[in-house]
Structure 1
């Protein structure tokens, strides 16, 4: 599922693939020296090369974006409410 990131220069980017994640890592992050950022960059590079699972790399990017407060929160869709209602007893 794509995520939206808002960088330090106030630009936003919709990231839905590993290629887009690699591009997002080149943008203005609050702290590119943070261990989580470095690990996300490593995993995304490995995923681009095909030696790492794309889901793992994308999750690492999303986790670090949330940690650095650049992940734009999206409201739940009505479909989520419907599924919650169906799943509840």
Structure 2
């Protein structure tokens, strides 16, 4: 089981990876990103390293990782499931 909702990433070399933990995020950071010099990537790499060392909250690090992936356009968008629609309809009669 993953610690976070899994993200699907598609890297510059067209490889995909499912990331749902800080350890998997660390592996993903070593893949081919469009621009590893961007500040969001650097922040994510720093925070993921700190989370692995135990000196940073994993959630904060994973959110920074997600932000970097979104900014670089490698986050693969997933369509909402029909269950979300059913829950929305039940909550708003």
Q: Same fold (TM over 0.5)?
A: yes
Q: Separation in 2 of the partners of 1:6 and 1:14?
A: 9
Measured on the aligned residues, the alpha-carbon RMSD in Å equals 0.8
Where do residues 1-89 of structure 1 align in structure 2 (5 Å cutoff)?
Answer: 1-89=5-93
Moved over 3 A (4+): none
Query: TM-score if structure 2 supplies the norm length?
Result: 0.91
Unaligned runs of 5+ in 2: none
User: How many aligned residue pairs are there?
Assistant: 89
- C-alpha displacement of 1:87: 2.0
